[in-house]
Amino acid sequence: MKIVIDAMGADKAPGVEVEGAIQAIQEFGYDLILVGDQAKVEAELAKHNFKSDKLSVVHASEVIEMHDPAAISVRRKRDSSSVVGMDLLKKGKADAFVSAGNTGAVVCAATLSLRLLPGIERPGIAIRIPVLTGTSMIMDVGANIDPKPMHMLQYGIMADAYCKYILNKEKPTIGLLNVGEEESKGTEFIKDSHTLLSESKLNFIGNVEGRDIYSGKADVILCDGFVGNVILKVSESVIDTLMLLLKREIKSNFIATLGAVLASPAFNELKKKMDYSEYGGAPLLGVDGRCVICHGSSSAKAIKNAVKFAGESIKQDVNKHIVEELESY
């Protein structure tokens, strides 16, 4: 079992990737390949004085930056860490690929290199989120910012398979994110997606609203990648802002400060539950291979957990189940 890591993806690359990789080898014993600027990666490895036959480095001379247009840069920067890493996966030299790089570029490289599963027109990122009742999924959170209704149906089928076979939910409920519960609400894109989902075999519960996401009303929330991206970033921002404001309020009051110290184990437990870095990465579903997409601002811990998640994905082989589901349509 071999996992390839794009070492140049994160905002703090390659430091967090190298540190995350070292932690993953120590904790899980996976074989890892770091792809990126060899000199920079080895300089980071030297900092940790780490050597292991479980880790190899493959040189890639280019980097796709966050501001690079996705499709063009994947075609032009053939020696970038994302493209070289994906090619290792394609050639069977690795079983999964992890990247915190330019999401659009990783999605594009995966689509071109690995190809799509039969019946899938566009891949999508499915992310697990903590909700009041346990865990739900949002799909898509940024692979496809301008999807067609047919893509939403395909996302529904893939997320359904993921929930059934990986999260062990028996009859996952599928909701379509909209501005209201009523069928008459929404754009033409939403109304057409609603029709397709209603006519499918999925356990489609209709429209859900932004307020329903964290209550756990649906096991899967379907939305376009633009809206999904906004949901994730706004959620993080609200949590960070609340914590900052609360700290400010507490600091201005001595008794409250004492109270906060006493209540801190509860805060820490909550923080852990809401911390995306505990979850690591999110699977890119729809490509014929295993791709894990990480947050650009990933920490070493987030990379380590993404590698752990990639290892689990190899064992679970969700694509087999997705293909079976698709064939039944």
Cβ atoms of 57 and 39 closer than 8 Å:
no
Check residue 245 for interaction with its own copies (CB under 8 A). yes
Q: Which of residues 60-89 bind its own copies (CB under 8 A)?
A: 66-69
Stretch that binds its own copies, among 18-26, 150-158, 235-243, 307-315 (CB under 8 A): 235-243
Per residue, the 3-state secondary structure of the chain, as one string, reads CEEEEECCCCCCCCHHHHHHHHHHHHHHCCEEEEEECHHHHHHHHHHHCCCCCCEEEEECCECCCCCCCHHHHHHHCCCEHHHHHHHHHHCCCCCEEEECCCHHHHHHHHHHHHCECCCCCCCEEEEEEEECCEEEEEECCCCCCCCCHHHHHHHHHHHHHHHHHCCCCCCCCEEEECCCCCCCCCCHHHHHHHHHHHCCCCCEEEEECHHHCCCCCCCEEECCHHHHHHHHHHHHHHHHHHHHHHHHHHHCCHHHHHHHHHHHHHHHHHHHHHCHHHHCCEEEECECCCEEECCCCCCHHHHHHHHHHHHHHHHHCHHHHHHHHHHCC
Q: Which of residues 139-158 bind its own copies (CB under 8 A)?
A: 142, 145-146
48, 198, 201, 267: which one binds its own copies (CB under 8 A): 267
Nearer to its own copies, 71 or 88 (CB): 71
Stretch that binds its own copies, among 13-21, 166-174, 196-204, 260-268 (CB under 8 A): 260-268
Check residue 213 for interaction with its own copies (CB under 8 A). yes
23, 229, 299, 305: which one binds its own copies (CB under 8 A): 229
39, 43, 150, 238: which one binds its own copies (CB under 8 A): 238
Rounded Cα–Cα distance for residues 314 and 96 (Å): 7
Check residue 179 for interaction with its own copies (CB under 8 A). yes
Check residue 275 for interaction with its own copies (CB under 8 A). no
Check residue 11 for interaction with its own copies (CB under 8 A). no
88, 227, 314, 326: which one binds its own copies (CB under 8 A): 227
The distance of closest approach from Cβ of residue 276 to its own copies in the complex, given in angstroms and rounded to an integer, is 12
Check residue 220 for interaction with its own copies (CB under 8 A). no
Check residue 299 for interaction with its own copies (CB under 8 A). no
Stretch that binds its own copies, among 156-164, 191-199, 220-228, 311-319 (CB under 8 A): 220-228
Binding mask 105-124 for its own copies (x = CB under 8 A): --------------------
In the complex, which residues of this chain contact its own copies (CB under 8 A)?
66-69, 104, 131-132, 142, 145-146, 177, 179-180, 182, 184-188, 209-215, 225-227, 229-242, 244-246, 249-250, 252-253, 255-256, 258-267, 269-270, 273-274
